Amino acid sequence: MSRLYLDWNATTPLRPEARAAMASAMDLVGNPSSVHAEGRAAKAMLERARAQVAAAVGCAPDEVIFTSGATEAAMVLSRLPAGHDVLVDPTAHDCLWAHLRTGGGAAVGHTLAWGLANNETGVIAEPPRGAEGGWLYGDRKADWLLLDIVQAVGKVPFSFAWSGADMAVVSAHKFGGPKGVGALIVRGGLDITSLSLGGGQEMGRRAGTENLIGIAGMGAAAEAAARDLAAGVWDEVAEIRNILESELSASTNKTISVGNGLPRLPNTLCLIAPGWKGETQVMAMDLAGFAVSAGSACSSGKVRPSRVLRSMGFDEAQAAQAIRVSIGPGVTKDDVQRFGRAWTAAYAKALARAA
């Protein structure tokens, strides 16, 4: 039996469109900042990718700043004006959480960093709007909103312009692009300090020669992902996920499907299996030929209960018993049923051993 990759929220397979665009980029010698013909050809490729990403996330091309990924893009939270506090949604990814900054009432402004779709549970949560507009977090009003749209892009409709956000972070490898490239989206006119200092690339907002190969792959993947989304490909993915959910939930009535009933990404299933540790599940499934995750990829390897699940009200034991299965287009009903059988059998064995 061949292996089955069911960890799409950690990273996705490279799309053929991205591979082809990257191969073309490899044949270009020019630096996009050079004025000669070779440089202009590289620049044209860079700007094409910028337009593709802008179209996929619903912003203007000059609002797209290419980075090495969402984590680097989130560094903008440490480049805000002096005295600006950063409020962070507790279910947000570590790359936002790491920037939590509260100055104890002396703040001159607030930025709310908010994860639109959660990587561990798939739960989609709109940022809290205040009654008079703006963003309200607890009793604090945020002047600016940074949205983490990493897991949403390509899976659910999203428009930066419509969202009202001031900034957003994106990562290419979550929608079929290569790893190590992403973007910071910044609303036109927003005054933020450059992510890095030097040559003034990326409209003076991220210095350093651009990763043209990765960026070309990101642009092609963004365009293809937007096309697939419009064609309804993810509606089919949701149907397969729902089959998977009923297969796993049928094994015992004690499992908890996290986020069931809430708005959710079409591809994600987060299941708490009482009496069976998440890490043990991942290892058992790996040996059986399936790649799944116990939590976010970034926290795997570190044995600590998920902050996301804890903040949703699950206790420490429950948070440590969660498995995340995340799928994508091309994963079939047969595939998830095969996984369901293997998981159910392994769970029964684990419970018998514990009894």
Residues that bind ligand PLP (CB under 6 A): 69-71, 93, 95, 115, 119, 148, 150-151, 171, 182, 296-298
Residue closest to 130 by CA, chosen among 143, 118, 121? 143
Task: Give the pair of three-digit tokens for residue 279.
Answer: 């890490």
**CB distance 116 to 165 below 8 Å:** no
Query: Residue 79 or 141: which CB sits closer to ligand PLP?
Result: 79
Task: Give the pair of three-digit tokens for residue 252.
Answer: 């015992």
Query: Residue 69 or 328: which CB sits closer to ligand PLP?
Result: 69
Tell the smallest beta-carbon distance from residue 315 to ligand PLP (Å): 24
Tell the smallest beta-carbon distance from residue 190 to ligand PLP (Å): 20
CA atoms within 13 A on the CB side of 349: 10
> Which residues does the annotation mark as catalytic?
298
CA atoms within 13 A on the CB side of 206: 23
The number of beta carbons lying within 10 Å of the beta carbon of residue 205 is 19
Tell the smallest beta-carbon distance from residue 228 to ligand PLP (Å): 19
**CB distance 83 to 106 below 8 Å:** yes
Q: Is 58 left (phi over 0), alpha (psi -120 to 50) or beta?
A: left
Residue in the shown chain whose Cβ atom is closest to ligand PLP: 69
Residue 243, C-beta contacts closer than 8 angstroms, at least 6 positions apart? 333, 336, 337
Tell the smallest beta-carbon distance from residue 171 to ligand PLP (Å): 3
Tell the smallest beta-carbon distance from residue 298 to ligand PLP (Å): 6
Residue closest to 323 by CA, chosen among 261, 251, 262? 251
Query: Residue 97 or 339: which CB sits closer to ligand PLP?
Result: 97
Task: Give the pair of three-digit tokens for residue 72.
Answer: 């680097």
Query: Residue 118 or 318: which CB sits closer to ligand PLP?
Result: 118
Give the integer Cα–Cα distance in Å for 207 and 205: 6
